Amino acid sequence: MSYLENQFLEFTGSSSEDFDSEFSPTKNVTFPEQNTNQKLTDFVVNKTTNVFQHGCYMRGAIKGIKKLLPVDVLSGLGCKQRPPEAIVFGVKKGGTTTLKEFLAFHPGVSVAPKELKFLSSSFLRKQGLEGYASLMPYSLPTQIPIEKKPGYMVRYRCIEPLKEMVPNCKLIAILSDPVKRAVSDFVHLSWVRDHREGGASELLPKHAHQMPHYEVKSTFEESVFYPNGSLKTWNTLLDTSLYYKHAKMWMGYFPPENFLFLDSSDLVYNPVRTFQEIEEFLGLPPFFSEHVFHFNETKGFYCVCAILFIRACLHPKADRIQLSMIE
Do 89 and 40 lie in one domain? The reply is no
Element (H, E) at 275: helix 271-282
- CB neighbours of residue 177 within 10 Å: 14
- Position 208 scores a pLDDT of 53
Q: Is 161 in the same domain as 198? A: no
223 three-class SS: helix
Same structural domain, 43 and 62? yes
List of residues 6+ apart from 164 with CB closer than 8 A: none
- CA–CA distance, 83 with 145 (Å, rounded to integer): 7
Question: Which pLDDT tens digit goes with each residue over 86-103?
Answer: 999 999 999 999 899 899
pLDDT at residue 145 in the model:
98
Contact 68, 56 (CB under 8 A): yes
User: Coil, strand, or helix at residue 226?
Assistant: coil
| pLDDT for the residue numbered 305 | 74
Look at residue 304 in the predicted model and tell me its pLDDT: 80
Which amino acid is it at 90?
G
Residues 93 and 214 placed together within one structural domain of the fold: no
The CB density around residue 49, as the number of other CB atoms within 10 Å, is 16
Tell me if 311 is assigned to some domain.
no
- Angstrom distance (rounded) from CA 115 to CA 97: 10
**Same domain for 59 and 12:** yes
Q: Are residues 94 and 128 in the same domain?
A: yes
156 annotated ligand binder: no
Number of domains in the chain: 3
309 domain-assigned: no
Whole domain around residue 230: which residue ranges? 178-239
Residues of the chain with pLDDT under 70: 1-51, 60-65, 200-202, 204, 206-209, 306-312, 315-327
Single out the residue in 77, 93, 121 at which a domain terminates.
Answer: 77
Same domain, yes or no: 155 and 255:
yes
Q: Of these residues, 67, 92, 93, 148, which one is catalytic?
A: 93
Do residues 260 and 120 both lie within one domain?
yes
For residue 323, tell me if it sits in a domain: no
Q: Evaluate whether residue 89 is within a structural domain.
A: yes
Inside any domain, residue 231: yes
Q: Is residue 317 part of a domain?
A: no
- Same domain (yes/no): 90, 151: yes
The CATH number covering residue 157 comes to: 3.40.50.300
Q: Which helix (H) or strand (E) holds 171?
A: strand 170-175
Is the same domain home to 87 and 167? yes
**Does the active-site annotation cover 93?**
yes
Q: Is 326 part of a structural domain of the chain? A: no
Out of 42, 77, 112, pick the residue that ends a domain.
77
- Report which secondary-structure segment, H or E, holds 101: helix 96-103
Distance CA 284, CA 144 (A): 9
CA atoms within 13 A on the CB side of 54: 23
pLDDT attached to residue 37: 37
| Beta bridge mates, 295 | 302
184 annotated among ligand-binding-site residues:
yes
Last residue of a domain, one of 24, 57, 77: 77
**pLDDT given at position 196:** 84
Q: Domain check: are 171 and 184 in the same one?
A: no
Q: What pLDDT is attached to residue 327?
A: 34
Query: Quick check: is 320 in a domain?
Result: no
Q: Do 166 and 251 have their domain in common?
A: yes
